[in-house]
Each structure stands twice: as C-alpha cells, then as structure tokens.
Amino acid sequence: MIRLLAWVFRVVVLLVLLCCLASILYMLGCTPKAEDKQLVMPRVNSPTGKEGYQAILQEREEQQLNYITSLKKQIAQLKDELQDCSELLKSMQDHYGESQGVVFDHGSPEKTQSDLLEFLHSQIDKAELHTGVKVPTEYAVVPFESFTLQKVYQLETGLTRHPEEKPVRRDKKDELVEVVEVAVEALNSPDDTSNAHRRVYATSDFIEGLYRTERDKGTLYELTFKGDRKHEFKRLILFRPFGPVMKVKNEKINMASTLVNIIVPLARRADKFQQFMHNFREVCIQQDGRIHLTVVYFGKEQMNEVKAILENTSKAMNFRNFTFIQLNEEFSRGKGLDVGAKAWKGSNVILFFCDVDIYFNTEFLNSCRLNTQPGKRVFYPVLFSQYNPSIIYGHHDAVPSVEQQLVIKKDTGFWRDFGFGMTCQYRSDFINIGGFDLDIKGWGGEDVHLYRKYLHSNLIVVRTPVRGLFHLWHEKQCVDELAPEQYKMCMRSKAMNEASHGQLGMLVFRHEIEAHLRKQKQKISVKKT
C-alpha cells in the first residue's frame, strides 16, 4: 500500500510540474515579437527635416512602450503561475507526508543557506588545499593545467588537441575568465580596508594560473598576480566545489631574497655545458640574480674544458655563486644530485634539479619559487620536450637558432609527462624525505623513486605543464649495461623524442608518397605530349 501511495504521489507531482511547464511555455509562445524595423531615412515624398524625424521617433517610442507594457503583464502572470504551482506542490508534499509519517523541512531561507555553506566548506576540507594527500602511485596523481589570459597549457592532448591552445569551448573560456574576475574582485576588496591608498588590481596584473578538477570534490584554482614591488607577488587560491567559486586564501609572497640552487650532474658533454652556460648567463645572472649553481662532475675526461667555461663566466660576469664538485666514479644522476644537495652549507634553500640539456627562463624560476614551500609543497613541472629539429625543419640548413626553436606547438614537441627529473623543493624537505636511492646507477629510475616518496608523504605535490622550461633535443644513447627496466624506459624516451605522430607517419609511408608523386609527374608529362 505504501509503495502504491508513493507511486501515485510521484505521478501527481509530475502532472503538476508538466501543467506548470505547459502554462509557462504557452505564455512565452504568446509573447508579441518586437518590431525589427529600423529607423530609415525619410523617403522623397515623405515629410523631411526635423518634423519627419520627430514623427518616426514618436512612432517607435509608442511601439516600445506597448511592448514593455505587454512584457510586464506576462511577467506578472508567470509569477502568479509559479506561486500557484509552488503552493500546490507544497500542499501535496504535506498531505503525502502526513499519510506516510514523513516530515518535509520547509525551513527558512537562512537555514537553507547555512546548510549549503556547510556542504561547500566540507568539500573544501576534503580537497588538497592545506596539506598533501597520500597518493599510492604516480598514475593516481591528478595534474594541474596552467593558463594565462590568452592560452591554456594542457597535458591530455591526444591526436586532435594541442599542447598549447586558446580555449575554443565557450564554457571553458567563460570559466577561466570568471575565475580571474573573481580573483581581481577579491584583491580589490580585502578584509582590511584601513589603507585608503591601496593598489587597485586589474586583469592585466594576472601572470599565470593553475587549475585541476577532482571529480568527487570540485575544481581548485591557484592564481598569481603582480605584487606591489619587484619580486613580490599576490597569490589567490579559489575553489569551486560544484557550486559558486569560493575564496580560500589571499596571501602576499615576497621572493626578493629567495635563492635557487641549480644542481647539474655532468659527465663529459662540454659542448652541451657551453650551451647551458650561455642561457645561464643571460637568464640567471643578468635577469634574475638570485641563483647559485652547483656542478657535480663525474670522471676527468673533458673536466678541464668544463672548469674553463665556469671560470670564464665568473670573470666575464663577476659571478661567484657557484660550486664545482668532482667525483672519480661512474656517472650516476641520483648520486650527483644527492651530493650537490648535501654540499650546501647555507640556510634552507630551494633546490632545482636540472640537466645540462635543459633551457629555462625567468618565468620558470618564479614558478619554481612560488610553487615550493618548506614542509608544505614541492614542485614537479612538466617540461616541453623538443622533437628532432632535422625532422621538423627538413634539413640542417633550415634549422633556426635555439631560441627560435622554443615554440610550444604540436609539431615541435610534446609535454614530457612521463619524466620526473626536473623538480624544485626545499633542501629540508629533500633531506627529510630521505633523498635519492643511491643504489640506482646510470640513467633513469632515481627520479621516479623520489617522486613516489613525495606522493606518499603529507606534502602537496604540484604537477603541471610550464611554458618556460624546455628539454632541448639530443640523440639519446641507450647502453647495453642498463638493467632491462631502465633500458625499456630509455628506449621509450628515445622513440617519443624524434617527431610527432603525423611526422613519423610521413616518414614510414615516404616510399608510397614518393611513388604517388612520380605517377602524378608522369600523368602531367603525358598530357603535355
């Protein structure tokens, strides 16, 4: 009997809602259409001059007044219809509740709003905002995507999407624009309004944003704006818990004295180190100025050339913030980074683990500082990896300079989302987590091991593509001495490093393409004869 009454109640409620919907659609369908006529110049035989224009304007004004009056009547009728439907539905709920012993809560709007806010705050508490959430493997990480006012940098590109693109979908564009506007409004409406001469922020002060969506919680946004002075920034953390955007944190960050210690493990490759130092001089010494360089060199082959490059840079640029460490043993990337990190004797510092074939700019160094916090956050940027320039540009003579090659496009490179070697973290966090596994020798493996340690900790791991960090192409050698798993990782990296899916396809089918072109030339020559 109870099931029958419940079924009858649902049917009646559905009929009421359908009646309300039908009446609303009927009212909308009967809406008089606005006249689409536009003001036109008086005809030759019509009144001219001031009198003609006044007559036309008066006629248009009467039409608009009639249209407004009609709309007001329809709005009033729709409100009455909605009120009747609401009262009918409420009475039916009460009647059904009395018959079944169920009480429907028609509490005050204040009670409803309080419940909603309580739910939204519970969603914020579940999200990874204030402390890290332990993640079992690197495959379970929900990465961030980054964006500016013009472009979005996304990891999941597939075959149709691009690593860098303007948001074409209207909903995504509106979402990011809304978030930036909410952040600007929050910056211009601080809790402390005592300072009448405070700065007024605009969207032009926006530098970069990160966002990610967790299906059971909502969307987290971290937005960075220019600060009041050089090396100062404002960061806002916003959260959309499947509802309105809510402000979580508004903080001022001063990076004027924040030093980054760049640690580079190296063996031979003096030519690559020369190229690295060319970029280092321009970006780190001339533009940034808050950098220490630590080079950990393995063996003695080409060591004098590397030391000479360092000394020449030191003399030419009056640069003394570097450390050179030489180890007489087989190259091990993890060992080199571990030794470089522990060799630092100053106060707590940001460590940027870097390779000699990496190119970065000042934007990345700022991101490195902003996304690390001792005991709180570590930064795992996803860099953009170059394809083989000789394939991209056709032949060696057409290859542009390195700076001109640094373009984020589908045919120039890819997001290196399987690489975890370039990372920024405070030295204290690196020491506390236990550092690298020094039993791993040669290429690869040590970076994934460290990444998993951070994922299993309570630190927030920020994983996102960055537009200022590039891996320059070089031919990769996978030596036979590597363990099977390391060799497989090395070969996978080598295969992905050459060209895009489409470019590799053109190389695979080049014989068919050349045969087609020959046939086309033969047809043209036959027609001419």
Model confidence pLDDT, tens digit, residues 492-514? 777 777 777 677 777 777 778 77
347 and 326: one domain? yes
Report the predicted TM-score, pTM, of the whole model to 2 decimal places.
Answer: 0.63
Q: What is the CATH number of the domain that holds 389?
A: 3.90.550.10
> Per-residue confidence at 317, pLDDT binned at 50, 70, 90?
very high
Residues 5-56 have pLDDT tens digits of 455 556 555 666 666 666 666 555 555 544 444 434 444 444 556 666 677 7
What does each C-alpha distance from 446 to 43, 141, 268, 422, 462 come to in angstroms?
84, 19, 21, 12, 19
Structure-token pair, residue 39: 């003001």
404 and 295: one domain? yes
CB atoms within 10 A of CB 176: 18
Q: Is residue 169 part of a domain?
A: yes
307 and 233: one domain? no
Nearest to 224, CA basis, from 194, 198, 249: 249
Q: Is residue 24 part of a domain?
A: no
> Would you call 285 helix, strand, or coil by DSSP?
helix
- CA–CA distance, 426 with 375 (Å, rounded to integer): 8
**Averaged over 459-487, what is the pLDDT?**
86
Q: Is residue 8 part of a domain?
A: no
Q: DSSP code of 286?
A: I
Structure-token pair, residue 270: 């003096």
The range of the structural domain enclosing residue 414 comes to: 260-474
What does each C-alpha distance from 154 to 33, 73, 213, 215 come to in angstroms?
45, 50, 13, 18
Q: Which single residue is written with the structure tokens 């969207």?
A: 203
Q: Is residue 132 part of a domain?
A: no
Residues 193-216 have pLDDT tens digits of 555 567 889 999 999 999 988 877
> Per-residue confidence at 224, pLDDT binned at 50, 70, 90?
very high
Nearest to 432, CA basis, from 514, 517, 505, 341: 341
241 and 381: one domain? no
215 and 304: one domain? no
Q: What pLDDT score does 37 carry?
A: 40
Judge whether 96 and 5 are in contact, CB under 8 Å: yes
Greater model confidence, 106 or 368: 368
* Nearest-10 Cα torsion for 53, 59, 60, 65: 140
Q: What pLDDT score does 39 carry?
A: 39
pLDDT of 122 over the 70 cut:
no
Q: For the chain, what is the domain count?
A: 2
In the chain, the largest separation of any two C-alpha atoms, in whole Å, equals 103
Structure-token pair, residue 471: 């891996």
Nearest to 467, CA basis, from 225, 229, 210, 99: 210
> Would you call 293 helix, strand, or coil by DSSP?
strand
Q: What pLDDT score does 129 carry?
A: 63
170 and 269: one domain? no
Nearest to 334, CA basis, from 350, 355, 348, 349: 355
Q: What pLDDT score does 45 carry?
A: 47
Judge whether 297 and 325 are in contact, CB under 8 Å: yes
Residues 397-416 have pLDDT tens digits of 677 887 788 888 888 888 88
Nearest to 473, CA basis, from 387, 355, 359: 387
CB atoms within 10 A of CB 369: 22
Long-range contacts of 186-191 (CB under 8 A, 24+ apart): 186/236, 186/247, 186/250, 187/225, 187/234, 187/236, 187/250, 190/250
Structure-token pair, residue 373: 């916090």
- CA–CA distance, 307 with 206 (Å, rounded to integer): 41
- Within its chain, how far is the Cα of 140 from the centroid? 18
Structure-token pair, residue 228: 């009041």
Domain end: 458, 474, 490, which one? 474
Task: Give the up-direction half-sphere exposure of residue 431: CA atoms within 13 A in the CB hemisphere.
Answer: 13
Residues 56-83 have pLDDT tens digits of 777 777 777 777 777 777 777 777 766 6
230 and 334: one domain? no
- CA–CA distance, 14 with 74 (Å, rounded to integer): 24
* Nearest-10 Cα torsion for 276, 281, 282, 285: 130
Q: Is residue 181 part of a domain?
A: yes
**Averaged over 376-380, what is the pLDDT?**
95
- Concatenating the DSSP letter of every residue in 133-194 gives ---SSGGG----EEE-SS-EE-S--TTTS-SEE---SHHHHHHHHHHHHHHHHHHTS-S---
247 and 314: one domain? no
277 and 346: one domain? yes
- CA–CA distance, 356 with 337 (Å, rounded to integer): 13
Q: Is residue 298 part of a domain?
A: yes
Domain end: 254, 269, 289, which one? 254
344 and 400: one domain? yes
pLDDT of 114 over the 80 cut:
no
Q: Is residue 345 part of a domain?
A: yes
Q: What pLDDT score does 28 carry?
A: 56
217 and 318: one domain? no
287 and 234: one domain? no
Residues contacting 459, CB < 8 A, separation 6+: 132, 375, 376, 377, 378, 429
| Mean pLDDT, all residues of the chain | 79
Taking only Cα atoms into account, the Rg of the chain, rounded to an integer number of angstroms, comes to: 33
Q: Is residue 318 part of a domain?
A: yes
